[in-house]
Amino acid sequence: MNSAGPPEPTPGLRERKKAKTRRTIQEQALRLFAEQGYEGTTVEQIAEAAEVSPSTFFRYFPTKEDVVLRDEYDPLLVEAFLRQPLDVRPVPALRAAMREVLADLYPQIGDEVYRRTKLQMEVPALRARMMEQQLETLEMFSQGLARRSGRAASDLGVRTFAGAFVGATLAAILAWMDSDGAASLPDLLDECLAHLEDGLVG
What's the rounded Cα separation, in Å, for the pair 138 and 133?
Answer: 9
Fold of 71-198: Tetracycline Repressor; domain 2 (1.10.357)
This prediction has a pTM of 0.82
Query: In 3D, which of 114, 126, 122 has the Cα closest to residue 182?
Result: 114
Q: How many CB atoms lie within 10 A of CB 195?
A: 14
> What would the pLDDT profile of 23-35 be if each residue is shown by its tens digit?
999 999 999 999 9
CB 148 within 8 A of CB 81: yes
CB 146 within 8 A of CB 84: no
Question: Can you list the residues of the chain whose pLDDT is less than 70?
Answer: 1-11, 200-202
The whole-number pLDDT of residue 11 equals 54
Per domain, the residue ranges of the chain are 8-63, 71-198
The whole-number pLDDT of residue 13 equals 80
Q: How many CB atoms lie within 10 A of CB 125?
A: 14
Fold equal for 8-63 and 71-198: no
The whole-number pLDDT of residue 18 equals 87
Architecture label for domain 8-63 = Orthogonal Bundle (1.10)
The whole-number pLDDT of residue 125 equals 87
Which residue spans within the chain are E strands per DSSP? Answer: none
